[in-house]
C-alpha cells in the first residue's frame, strides 16, 4: 500500500490532523483505523463548510451522505464495477445536481472522472476507499437490520464467516480488502470511533474470537486456501489485532502444502509487515526456511526488528539490507539477541553499518556471526570501535573465513582481554587473503582424485580428469576400490566449508559420500542409492538429485552448461549444487539439508564420458 500515491496522501492527511491536535496522540495501528480516521477527517472538513447550526441535523446529514456513498460502493463492488454512471448514483439515492455531493467529503472521496460516449463517469478516488465504504455499509446494515440479505446473520460471527467464505470463493481476490475492512470495523474500538455514524454499537469480542479461530482453521486447511488467500487471511488477523499472528505465520510457512509453493516477493513483503506489526515477539526468523527467491528473502529482512534470533545467512544481502538490520539494532527496546549474517558479501561497508547499530545503547545483541562476509582489517576496526562504545552485551563474535589481517586480529583480541568488554568468544579461523573473494569462490578447495578408490573402468590423469573406458585396467586390489560401479573418490576429508567445480562431457554423478560407503556390493554402492551419499545426476537435458534411493527431478537452466558447482557447509548440514555458466554465473539447482555425522569426500561416477576437476584463480585484494 505504501507504494500507492493515494494511500500515502490518505496517511499524511490523517497523521497531520492527529499530530496537529496532540503530538502524543496514538496513531492508527491498522489499515481500517487509518481509513476510519480519514473518513472522520473529511466529515470534519465538511462540517466546517456546512451552514447548519443544529448538531442533530448536521449528524443526520453526514450519516445520510455517507450511507448513500457507502451503498453505491457496496452495490458496485458486488458487480465488479469501479466506474459508475448517473443512473447508478440515482439508484443509491445520490442527486448529482445536489451541491452537497460536490462539497467537502464527496470531492475528497468521490469524483466526476470524465465523459465517455457523451455520458459522465464517476468513481471513488481509489478502489480501497470504495472497499472500505462497502464494508462500512454491510456492517451498518447488519447493526440496523436494514438489508434483507443480512437478516439471516443473527450473530456477528455468522456475518464474518459468510464474508470469509465469499472472499475465499473469489479467484481474483477482489473481496480481500473488503473482508479486512469488515473485520476491522467490527472491533469495538472501531465502533467507538464511528459511533456518530452508527445507529448503535455492539459487543464484538466473542464474535471476533470465534472469527479468528475460523480463519486459522481455513489457513491450516491447505487444500482449500491458496497462498494468496492465506496471506490475506493473515492480514485479516492483523486487522483484528490477533496476538498469535507471528506463530500462525510460522506454522503456515512450515506446512507441507505451502512450503512446496514458492512465495513471491510481494507475499514476503506482506509476511514481513505482519511480523513487524505483531505484538508477539518472534523467537526466530530463519530466511532459509522460506521457499522464495533471494529477492523474496530480502523483502523479509525488515521483520528482524521484532525477533530475538535472526538467521540471515547466504541470502545475497546488500548494503541496503545492512542498513535495515542496523536500524533494528538501534531501535528503542530492541529485542534482537542473536544475528547470523554469514555468507553474505557485506564487505567492510556493510560491516560499518552493522557496527553503527552495535554502538547504540539500545542494542542488546549477544551473538553476531559474520563468517564469510569479506571483512578485512578495516571492518575489524569498525567492530572494535562499536565494542568500545557499547561493551556490555556482545559476548560472541564469529569472523571465520574472512581476512582480518594482523591488525584486525590484534584489535579484536584486545577486546577479548578487556575486562570492561563482555566479549568471551572470538573466532578468527581460516583468515586467508583469498577469503575476500565474492560468492562461494572464497571457499574453493583443491581436490585430488584417489587412485586407490577408482574403479578398474576409470582412467585418472594428473590434471584431475577421470575418464570411462570399456577395457578393464590392471589396478591392484585395494579395500577402498569400487568393484562394480565406475566411481572414484577424492583424497581430501571435508568437514568445514568447501566449494569445488567440475566439468563433464556427458552423463555423470557428482556426489559427496561418507568413507564408510560400501565398495563391493553392486548397485547399493552407487552414489545416491544409499544413506551414505548425496548425489547430483547430470543428464543430457536436466538433473536428478539422489539420496538414500530417493530422487527428485530438476529441469536444466537456460542456457545449459556442462559445469557444476558444489558447496558444502558441513557444520550447517547443507550441501548445494549449482549450474555454472560460461560467465561464471551460478544458478542454484538444489540444496540438501541434513546433519552430517562423518567426514565427507567428493565422489564422481562417469559412464561413456569423462569429468574434470576445475581450477579457479584465487584473487586477493590489493
**What are the tens digits of pLDDT across the range 548-560?**
999 999 988 888 8
Helices 176-186 and 205-220 pack at an angle, to 10 degrees, of 150
Predicted local distance difference test score (pLDDT) of residue 199: 83
pLDDT score of 99 more than 60 = no
* Domain chopping of the chain, boundaries: 5-154, 312-436, 439-613
Architecture of the domain made up of 312-436: Alpha-Beta Horseshoe (3.80)
Distance (Å, whole) CA 128 – CA 136 = 12
Give the pLDDT band (50/70/90) at residue 116: low
Q: What strand order describes the sheet that includes 458-460?
A: 458-460, 465-468, 610-613, 497-504, 563-569, 574-580, 586-593
User: Nearest CA to 263 among 288, 284, 282, 242?
Assistant: 288
Share of the chain above pLDDT 90, in %: 58
Per-residue confidence (pLDDT) for residue 499, from 0 to 100? 97
Compute the mean pLDDT over every residue in the chain, rounded to the nearest whole number: 88
Reference 191, options 207, 177, 175; nearest CA is: 207
Alpha helices in 481-575 (DSSP H): none
pLDDT at 1 over 70: no
In this structure, the strands spanning 610-613 and 550-555 are unpaired
**Would you state the pLDDT for residue 89?**
86
pLDDT tier at 621, thresholds 50, 70, 90: very low
Task: Give the pLDDT band (50/70/90) at residue 622.
Answer: very low
pLDDT in tens, 177-230: 999 999 999 999 999 999 989 888 999 999 999 999 999 888 877 666 777 888
Between 146 and 371, the higher pLDDT residue: 371
pLDDT of residue 114: 58
Beta strands in 8-134 (DSSP E): 110-116, 119-124
CB 587 within 8 A of CB 551: no
Residues 6+ apart with CB under 8 A from 119: 85, 86
What span, in angstroms and rounded, lies between the C-alpha atoms of 140 and 151? 12
pLDDT, average across residues 342-364 = 96
Regarding predicted confidence, which is higher, 146 or 509? Answer: 509
Contacts of 332 (CB under 8 A, 6+ apart): 362
Q: What is the pLDDT of residue 88?
A: 87
Q: Where are the alpha helices (DSSP H) in 194-318?
A: 205-220, 227-239, 245-254, 256-260, 265-277, 294-300
Is 70 exceeded by the pLDDT of residue 620?
no
Q: Count of residues for the chain?
A: 622
Average pLDDT in the 482-504 region?
96
Say whether pLDDT at 497 is over 90: yes
Half-sphere exposure of 249 (CA within 13 A, CB side): 36
Q: What mean pLDDT comes out for the span 131-138?
A: 94
For a pLDDT cut of 70, what percent of the chain falls above it? 90
Residue 108 vs residue 302, higher pLDDT = 302
Q: Which one-letter DSSP state was computed for residue 430?
A: S
CATH architecture of 439-613: Sandwich (2.60)
What is the pLDDT at residue 151?
A: 57
Over the stretch 15-44, which tens digit does the pLDDT of each residue have?
Answer: 888 888 777 778 888 999 999 999 988 887
* 255-306 confidence digits (pLDDT tens): 655 566 788 888 888 888 888 888 788 899 998 888 888 888 998 999 999 9
Closest CA to 596 of 453, 486, 497, 521: 497
CB atoms under 10 Å from CB of 416, counted, come to: 13
Residue 225 has a pLDDT of 74
Residue 544, pLDDT > 80, answer: yes
Amino acid at each position: 500500500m505504501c507504494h500507492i500515491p493515494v494511500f500515502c496522501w490518505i496517511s499524511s492527511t490523517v497523521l497531520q490532523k492527529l499530530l496537529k491536535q496532540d503530538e502524543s496522540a496514538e496513531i492508527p495501528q491498522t489499515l481500517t483505523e487509518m481509513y476510519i480516521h480519514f473518513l472522520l477527517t473529511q466529515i470534519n472538513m465538511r462540517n466546517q463548510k456546512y451552514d447548519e447550526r443544529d448538531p442533530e441535523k448536521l449528524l443526520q446529514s453526514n450519516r445520510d451522505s455517507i450511507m448513500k456513498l457507502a451503498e453505491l460502493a457496496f452495490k458496485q463492488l458486488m458487480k465488479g464495477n469501479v466506474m459508475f454512471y448517473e443512473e447508478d448514483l440515482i439508484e443509491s439515492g445520490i442527486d448529482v445536481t445536489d451541491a452537497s455531493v460536490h462539497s467537502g467529503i464527496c470531492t475528497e472521496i468521490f469524483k466526476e472522472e470524465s465523459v465517455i460516449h457523451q455520458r459522465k463517469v464517476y468513481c471513488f478516488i481509489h478502489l480501497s476507499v470504495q472497499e472500505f465504504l462497502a464494508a462500512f455499509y454491510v456492517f451498518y446494515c447488519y447493526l440496523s437490520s436494514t438489508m434483507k440479505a443480512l437478516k439471516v446473520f443473527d450473530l456477528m460471527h455468522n456475518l464474518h464467516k459468510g464474508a470469509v467464505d465469499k472472499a475465499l470463493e473469489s479467484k481474483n481476490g477482489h473481496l480481500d480488502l473488503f473482508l479486512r475492512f469488515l473485520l476491522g470495523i467490527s472491533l469495538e474500538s472501531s465502533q467507538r470511533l464511528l459511533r456518530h455514524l452508527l445507529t448503535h454499537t455492539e459487543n464484538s469480542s466473542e464474535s471476533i474470537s470465534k472469527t479468528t479461530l475460523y480463519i486459522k482453521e481455513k489457513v491450516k486447511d491447505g487444500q482449500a486456501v491458496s497462498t494468496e488467500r492465506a496471506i490475506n487471511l493473515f492480514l485479516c488477523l492483523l486487522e483484528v489485532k490477533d496476538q498469535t499472528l507471528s506463530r500462525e505465520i510460522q506454522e503456515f510457512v512450515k506446512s507441507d502444502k505451502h512450503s512446496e509453493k514458492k512465495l513471491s516477493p510481494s507475499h514476503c513483503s506482506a509476511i514481513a509487515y505482519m511480523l513487524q506489526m505483531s505484538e508477539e515477539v518472534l523467537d526466530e526468523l530463519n530466511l532459509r526456511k522460506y521457499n522464495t527467491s533471494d529477492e523474496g528473502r530480502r523483502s523479509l529482512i525488515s521483520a528482524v526488528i521484532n525477533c530475538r534470533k535472526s538467521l540471515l545467512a547466504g541470502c545475497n544481502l546488500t548494503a541496503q539490507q545492512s542498513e535495515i538490520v542496523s536500524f533494528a539494532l538501534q531501535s528503542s527496546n530492541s529485542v534482537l539477541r542473536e544475528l547470523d549474517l554469514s555468507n553474505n558479501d557485506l564487505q567492510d561497508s556493510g560491516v560499518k553499518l552493522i557496527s553503527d547499530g552495535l554502538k547504540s545503547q539500545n542494542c542488546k545483541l549477544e551473538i553476531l556471526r559474520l563468517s564469510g562476509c569479506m571483512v578485512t582489517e578495516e571492518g575489524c576496526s569498525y567492530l572494535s570501535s562499536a565494542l568500545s562504545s557499547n561493551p556490555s552485551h556482545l559476548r560472541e563474535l564469529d569472523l571465520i573465513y574472512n581476512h582480518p589481517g594482523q591488525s584486525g586480529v590484534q584489535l579484536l583480541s584486545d577486546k577479548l582481554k578487556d575486562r570492561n568488554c563482555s566479549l568471551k568468544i572470538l573466532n578468527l579461523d581460516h583468515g586467508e587473503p583469498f577469503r575476500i573473494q565474492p560468492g562461494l569462490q572464497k571457499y574453493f578447495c583443491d581436490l585430488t582424485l584417489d587412485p586407490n578408490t577408482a574403479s578398474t573402468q576409470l582412467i585418472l590423469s594428473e590434471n584431475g580428469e577421470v575418464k570411462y573406458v570399456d577395457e578393464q585396467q590392471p589396478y591392484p586390489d585395494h579395500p577402498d576400490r569400487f568393484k562394480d560401479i565406475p566411481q572414484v573418490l577424492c583424497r581430501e576429508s571435508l568437514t568445514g566449508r568447501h566449494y569445488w567445480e567440475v566439468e563433464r562431457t556427458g552423463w555423470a554423478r557428482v556426489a559427496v559420500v561418507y568413507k564408510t560407503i560400501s565398495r563391493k556390493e553392486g548397485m547399493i554402492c552407487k552414489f545416491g542409492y544409499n544413506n551414505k551419499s548425496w548425489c547430483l545426476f547430470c543428464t543430457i537435458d536436466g538433473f536428478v538429485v539422489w539420496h538414500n534411493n530417493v530422487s527428485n527431478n530438476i529441469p536444466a537452466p537456460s542456457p545449459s552448461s556442462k559445469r557444476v558447482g558444489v558447496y558444502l557447509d558441513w557444520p550447517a548440514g547443507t550441501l548445494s549444487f549449482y549450474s555454472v555458466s560460461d560467465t561464471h554465473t551460478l544458478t542454484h539447482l538444489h540444496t540438501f539439508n541434513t546433519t552430517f555425522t562423518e567426514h565427507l569426500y567428493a565422489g564422481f561416477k562417469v559412464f561413456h564420458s569423462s569429468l574434470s576437476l576445475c581450477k579457479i584463480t584465487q584473487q586477493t585484494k590489493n
